[in-house]
Each structure stands twice: as C-alpha cells, then as structure tokens.
Structure 1
C-alpha cells in the first residue's frame, strides 16, 4: 500500500488554521490477506470470507502554520508522522439461480472509527487551547465504522453475451463529516455486459451511478462550517480480456 498527501487549509471557515499546509511524502508498506473460501461448481456457488490487515506507515511530513509561525518552536517543521490504515473484513457470495442466471452479494466492514491523521505541528498548536488538552486535535478522523452491501444479478443471454446489474449501499463513516471528504455514504445502481468475441477474447463494459448522502462538514474543533446536499457521481469502465482455454 502506498500513501501520500498534500493538504492546504484555506478560507475563513478554518479560523486560526487558515493557511495551514502539510506535505506527507510517499511511503509504501505491506500488509497481509487471509481468508476462507468454499465452492460448489455444480450450482455455481462460491463463498469467500477475507480479512485484510491494517497497515502501519511512517512517512515524512513537512508542515507550516502561518498563524503561529512567529512563536518560538512553532515555525515550519519536518518530521515523521505515523498513519495506520484500517483493517477490513469482506464477504463475497454467488450462486446459480438457474442454468443462465447468477445471484451475487458482497458485504464489507471497515473500522474507520479507529483511523486518524495527526500531524505533529497541527496537533501541538491545538493544544495551546485548554479545551483540547491533553490529546489535541487530529487533522482527519471519523466517528463510525463503514459498512458496504452490494447485491447483483447476472444473466447469460446467449453463448457470447451476458448482462448484469447491481444495487449497493454504503453507510459512510459518520455525520458530520470531515471537510476533506464531504459525503455520508451513498446508494448506487450499476449495469454491465460482457461479450465473448472469440473463445479466448472478450470485451466488457459497465457503469455505476452513485447518489451521495447529504452531510454537514465540520472542522476538527467540531464547528459545522458547510452543508453538502444532492451530490452524485458515476463510474464507467471498459475491459478487454484474454483467457487461454
């Protein structure tokens, strides 16, 4: 897993943090995946439970905080930052309904409530306010764990052509949300198709539409500074694949 970040807080909504900047240099670390799977080919049944470990990063962070730059010890600094990306548990399931129809289900859990990004200078400045002592404030954190559910159907219309559709739900990780990620989950609907051009070559295309959940944006001191409503997004993709028989 590779992480990096550039953060620039700008605008009066950020109060004393207006103008704060941090650059977190790229860092690559490794985790592990473990799981169990079961299959019953005669009814196209497959089930898998997979665990992905949390991954710990230590990267260099260069920070500047103009509002306190004149105070000794609070000038621009560079140093290590520890970031731990969360673990996750994933359940994938499919089964045949009849010889040409397949049902699928996916469930994912991520404990984002354990995640936080805490740059040294940003945290130290927040501790100047007795309200936030002794731990200070984090730059990014979440209140709740995230759940995702997706249900789908696939239908083979001929030996060469198959179509699929799915619907999904994402709980988000709490509301109010960080101003750096202003949505509270989403609902989604998708359609796709796969065409076998030859026995070996196939082309697939699909799209998914997402209705993002309305959310209030809050800065780390818990002040609500923004309101996000009626946002949406979409994803499209095309794949050319080859399979040796």
Structure 2
C-alpha cells in the first residue's frame, strides 16, 4: 500500500503541538518531546501555548466548630508554554536537532482565608531545557537517536493554613540551578505505509539548589528545632527530575489518513523535595508527593488537500490514590484535542489547536499519617496553542 503523504510532517506537528499545551503526568509540561528529529528535511519550528485551569475546592467539613468551611477558587493559575526546534540533515543518514522547551512547571495558589486549612499555600516552578539530539539511520527501517539535555529549574514553595500547624508560614526558595542529563532512543519505520515506532528514554537529572528557608516562629522554639533557631536558613537541597520513557507510534491506514498514539511513563516517586530545616522538622518528609504514573493518547490525522490537514485525539492519565499533595490537587485526567495545519507556502506551515481536559477529583492531604484537608471536584482545563514551521 503506497500512501501519498505530502503533509505527513504537518500532521506530526499538530500532534506534537497538543502535547506542549497542557501537562500530563505529575509536573510535566512538554512531555520532553524529541520527535522533531524525525521530520523530513531542514526546518525551524516555534510553538506557543496557554493553559487556563479551572481548579477549585473547599475544606472538609469542620467537625469541631460551626465555622464556615473555606472555599478555594482559582487555585491553578493560567500559564504559558513555549518551545522551539531546529532540525537539519548532515548527511542522508545523519541528522541533528536542537530542541528548547519548558519540561516541568507548577503554578498553584490557594486564596488566603482566615482559619482555612490550606489558604496561602503556593507553589511556583519554572523550567527551561535545551536538548541536542542526533539520529543515525542504520537503513530504511532502523535508526537510533540520542543526545544531551541541559535543564534549568527554579522554584518557590510556601505552606500556610491550619492544616500545617507549626509549619504554617514555612517558605523555601530554590534558586535557579542548571544540570545535565541525556536522551537515548531507537525507532523502527516503514516509509511506504508511514509506520513509525519510536521509544525514547530521558535520564534522571540531579539539581543541587541553593535553598533559602524561612522558618515560622512556632518552629524556632522546642519542639522540634530548639530555642534560638534562626528565622532564615540557607543550605543546599538536592532534587531529581524524573527518568521517563516516551513511546510514539504512527501508521497510515488509508491514503492521506494517519493514526497515531503516544504513551509516556514518568518515575516521579523519586522526585523528593526535602530542604534541610523542613526535613529536620518533619522527620525527613518531602514537600512533594507525586506517584509514578503514565499518560496515553490516540488520535487520527487527515490531509484534506495540498493546503490543509487536521487531527483529533483523546487521552487519559489514570487515577491513583485520592489523597494527593496540596501542591498538585488533581487525580487523573481525561482530554480531547483538535488541531489543524495550513500550508501557507512551500516553506511555511501554520498550525494550531485546542485541548479540553477533565481533571480528576482529589483530596489534598497533610501530615503523617496522611489526613485529608480539602476536597476538589468537577475541575477542568482549557489549552490553546499555535506554531509556525519554516523549511529551508
């Protein structure tokens, strides 16, 4: 079956665009996508996405007083996600790509309400990564790819509210730090039917942050830290971003029609954030509590004519334990996305899309053992994105 796929790359681009506009597993924002290395020819691609979460909840009913139960609206703040890639062929069998993205992020803020369990708690995480990846085609069917990734992170976390007791008012700033890891992968292809199966491994990246902790007054007297403890302490905090595996599949099913799927697994259980004073006060606890998980999506792309192609996809992240970290008050996701690509000229393609995501119900918890402090239900998020690709 010989397929006519003049717009294969446009379909792949629209698919990748949907992955960059809304996070999936844990703190994911871009899925660390490197599929630009499989594009045909030389190209420069720039993408822009904005996500609008509608994330709200309320404290669990107070069983000991008649005080009103606090409500939290707009806990998830809007955020941007930008990315770009430059891909070029060195020889018919060797190609390179430079990919810039924002792989991880968090924008959480609980409105501060007197007497609430979590009001004033917040988390901000910003990231920027540059990945230089090369690909070697062994033959028409098999290829290997790999490279180096530099990753810059910075963040700030604040704990506040009655649920944190003596820790209420604790804050830590993780100053920007750059660290390095690697990418390895392999692919099997059958060009005559537009088949490609590509597996990519992203290594752990270990960051050593200069951390400044602000210590609330209740922790400065015994217990647990002892008298005369400073209100501000500086030290080093080591945090690992997770290792992960991406499986990208596509195949033609009819002339000008492509079916694709993407599966990502990220090992977040080892992403521990335990600054020195916080660890001492809590017996080694972590500010984060994210489980290993995976996300998956499947979709179809169709080229309607020489100028226009479109795609639609559905996806999910499975639910785990209802008890979650207040810094990520969701439990599983379901989404649908629509995208299109317009070939403005032989060199320029414009793409855009929208994704609607249902966010799973959850109960943010604190303490050891875990105690539910609030309930989040009926939340969702809308993401929109666009990109421009120039071939040369």
Q: Does residue 146 of the first structure (1) align with residue 302 of the second (2)?
A: no
Residue of structure 2 equivalent to 1:184: 331
Counterparts of 1:141 and 1:238 in 2: how far apart (Å)?
33
Counterparts of 1:88 and 1:125 in 2: how far apart (Å)?
31
Q: Does residue 29 of the first structure (1) align with residue 184 of the second (2)?
A: no
Counterparts of 2:367 and 2:238 in 1: how far apart (Å)?
18
Residue of structure 2 equivalent to 1:111: 267
Counterparts of 1:2 and 1:98 in 2: how far apart (Å)?
43
Q: Does residue 198 of the first structure (1) align with residue 348 of the second (2)?
A: no
Q: Counterpart of 2:155 in 1: which secondary structure?
A: strand
List runs of 5+ in structure 1 lacking aligned partners: 128-135
Counterparts of 1:15 and 1:146 in 2: how far apart (Å)?
31
List runs of 5+ in structure 2 lacking aligned partners: 1-150
Counterparts of 1:201 and 1:126 in 2: how far apart (Å)?
55
Of 84, 101, 118, which residue of structure 1 is paired with 2:240? 84
CA RMSD of aligned residues (A): 1.4
Q: Is the 8 A contact 2:167 2:219 kept in 1?
A: no
Give 1:157-168 correspondences, 5 Å limit: 157-168=304-315
Q: Is the 8 A contact 1:201 1:240 kept in 2?
A: yes
CA 1:38–1:73 in structure 2 vs 1: closer, same or farther (change >3 Å)? farther
Counterparts of 1:22 and 1:93 in 2: how far apart (Å)?
41
Q: Counterpart of 2:173 in 1: which secondary structure?
A: strand
Q: Is the 8 A contact 1:111 1:146 kept in 2?
A: yes
Cα drift, residue 215 of structure 1:
0.5
Counterparts of 1:224 and 1:174 in 2: how far apart (Å)?
12
Of 96, 102, 114, which residue of structure 1 is paired with 2:252? 96
Q: Does residue 216 of the first structure (1) align with residue 363 of the second (2)?
A: yes
Of 9, 19, 26, which residue of structure 1 is paired with 2:159? 9
Residue of structure 1 equivalent to 2:282: 126
Cα drift, residue 8 of structure 1:
1.4
Q: Is the 8 A contact 1:113 1:141 kept in 2?
A: yes
Counterparts of 1:42 and 1:14 in 2: how far apart (Å)?
60
Cα drift, residue 107 of structure 1:
0.7
Q: Counterpart of 2:180 in 1: which secondary structure?
A: coil
Counterparts of 2:175 and 2:248 in 1: how far apart (Å)?
35
Q: Counterpart of 1:42 in 2: which secondary structure?
A: helix
Q: TM-score, normalised by structure 2?
A: 0.58
1:96-138: per-residue Cα shift (whole Å, max 9, x none)?
00111000011111111222111110111123xxxxxxxx322
Q: TM-score, normalised by structure 1?
A: 0.92
Counterparts of 1:90 and 1:194 in 2: how far apart (Å)?
24
Q: Is the 8 A contact 1:206 1:236 kept in 2?
A: yes
Q: Is the 8 A contact 1:74 1:121 kept in 2?
A: no
Cα drift, residue 176 of structure 1:
0.9
Of 178, 191, 194, which residue of structure 2 is paired with 1:41? 191
Cα drift, residue 220 of structure 1:
4.2
Q: Is the 8 A contact 1:138 1:220 kept in 2?
A: no
> Across the two proteins, how many residue pairs are aligned to each other?
235
